[in-house]
Amino acid sequence: MSSYLCAIGTANPPHRIPQLQIADFMANALELDEGGTRKLRALYRVSGIAHRHTVLPDYARANGEFEFFPNTPGLEPFPSVGQRMAEYRRHALPLSVQAVRACLEQLPEVEVRSITHLITVSCTGMYAPGLDLELVAALGLPSHVQRTCVNFMGCYAALNGLKLADAFCRATPGARVLVVCTELCTLHFQKSPEDDHLISNALFGDGSAAVLVQDRPAVTGPSLALTAFHCDLEPDGHADMAWHINDFGFEMTLSSYVPRMIQQGIGQLTQRLLADLPVQLADIHAFAIHPGGRKILESIEQALGLTAYDNRFAYQVLRDYGNMSSATVLFVLRELLRTLTPADAGAPVLSFAFGPGLTLESMLLTVAYEDAENEQNEVKVENVAAHA
């Protein structure tokens, strides 16, 4: 039995800020000299990002107009973890609700009360009672909905959420699983000139994505069968991508060696994912790769023989939103879904995401339609799933 990703809804905060305007904020906050500012702006220009969204309007303002950061030289006293978590709790629920509604409006046959499982995913904030319980109340979900929280796993966590959804659907006939990934990365700006912090400050944005997974395709439009998963580790990268809670927010370690490590490990990861399946890499022409950064995408292309066109959905999301941690790969899948037609039924889709560890996650999906004329393609989905 297969499970199917039937719809994806997304949402972003209203503050959409050009990348170079954020660079100016950062240069002022870090009190950089002219040379340092020039280098920082160069980093932002080559990032592949045009805009990012944030819950904090301060990134588009000058000192003296801030709402969250202190209107003082050096932004002192710098906001504490508690202050940042208060902002997370203020913004996470409405953004998540917006993403869920954007998802469910695509599926008029799905009633909110029919959802059996709720999975919330985040690494940028936490509290209890948490976002999961608030979503139950805000959406009118049944009080007995089964809730699971995937916390602090980083950019690859959406794939873990989908693994859980797949397991629930396979174990419970008629299950309908709502997965909600909400990340407010910009709350965790670190006022530090260290390379790791300069890179992470240049990449991350805020966003939410919600998906509905069930044991049958959507009534209309394309669905994606969750066909196979494989996870691996690159232990040499243990210290090169990390996420720690410190006194002034969550601190990201993201070294310049990460793209090279992913390039070294991605080929073996793909081989192991496809090893027992009747699908070869040459058979795959649709990709949904987490855009951790421009160099990461380029490294994967070099390792797997892909083109920038193969990665076009990832580049589009990176350009328009930046890296939104766990939600990002779902934004990429949304862009891919929008291009599918019944002629694509049965086609394989390869997806990757990466995070602390260094963790490499992979997923094979298969395009599916419920239409009777595509019954033959549905058999193809089941045949691939039988080998998973």
pLDDT band at 257 (very low <50, low <70, confident <90, very high): low
Residue 380: its pLDDT value, please?
52
Least confident of 111-120, 148-157, 363-372: 363-372
Alpha-carbon span 165 to 157, nearest angstrom? 12
Instruction: Please tell me the distance from the alpha carbon of residue 151 to that of residue 179, in angstroms, as a whole number.
Output: 13
Q: By C-alpha distance, which of 245, 244, 236 is closest to 263? A: 236
Whether the predicted pLDDT of 375 surpasses 80: no
Model confidence band, residue 233 (pLDDT cutoffs 50, 70, 90): confident
Lowest mean pLDDT among 23-27, 33-37, 245-249: 245-249
- Whether the predicted pLDDT of 378 surpasses 70: no
- Taking alpha carbons only, the member of 326, 335, 305 closest to residue 222 is 335
pLDDT digits (tens, 9 = 90+) for 167-223: 999 999 999 999 999 999 999 998 888 888 888 899 999 999 999 999 999 999 999
The answer to whether the beta carbons of residues 364 and 228 sit under 8 Å apart is: yes
How much of the chain, in percent, has pLDDT values that exceed 70?
Answer: 92
242 to 198, 251, 354: CA distances (angstroms): 15, 8, 11
| Cβ atoms of 206 and 186 closer than 8 Å | yes
Structural domains of the chain ordered from first start: 223-387 (3.40.47.10)
- The 8-class DSSP code of residue 356 comes to T
From the candidates 6, 103, 123, 155, give the one annotated as an active-site residue. Answer: 155
Residues 6+ apart with CB under 8 A from 94: none
pLDDT band at 379 (very low <50, low <70, confident <90, very high): very low
What local confidence, expressed as pLDDT, does residue 83 receive? 96
Output the average pLDDT for the chain: 91
Lowest mean pLDDT among 52-61, 228-237, 373-382: 373-382
pLDDT for the residue 254: 64
The per-residue pLDDT for 167 is 98
Residues 6 or more apart in contact with residue 60 via CB below 8 angstroms: 15, 17, 21, 22, 25
- Estimate to the nearest angstrom the gap between the alpha carbon of 95 and the chain centroid: 15
- pLDDT 10s digits, 143-180: 999 999 999 999 999 999 999 999 999 999 999 999 99
What is the pLDDT, as a whole number, of residue 241? 64
> What are the beta bridge partners of residue 228?
364
The CB density around residue 310, as the number of other CB atoms within 10 Å, is 19
Residue 251 is predicted with a pLDDT of: 73
Average pLDDT over residues 234-251: 71
User: Which of 344, 255, 341 is CA-nearest to residue 293?
Assistant: 255
Nearest-angstrom CA–CA distance, 123 and 155: 8
* 155 part of the active site: yes
Mind giving me the DSSP string for 58-109? GGGS-TTS-SSS-SSGGGSSPPPHHHHHHHHHHHHHHHHHHHHHHHHTT-TT
Residue 249: the pLDDT is: 80
Least confident of 135-144, 195-204, 232-241: 232-241
CB 59 within 8 A of CB 186: yes
Tokens of 64: 């003296």
Output the six-digit token pair for 320.
């328009």
Per-residue DSSP letter, 340: -
Give the pLDDT confidence score for residue 372 in this predicted structure: 38
pLDDT of residue 374: 47
Q: Compute the average pLDDT of residues 31-54.
A: 96
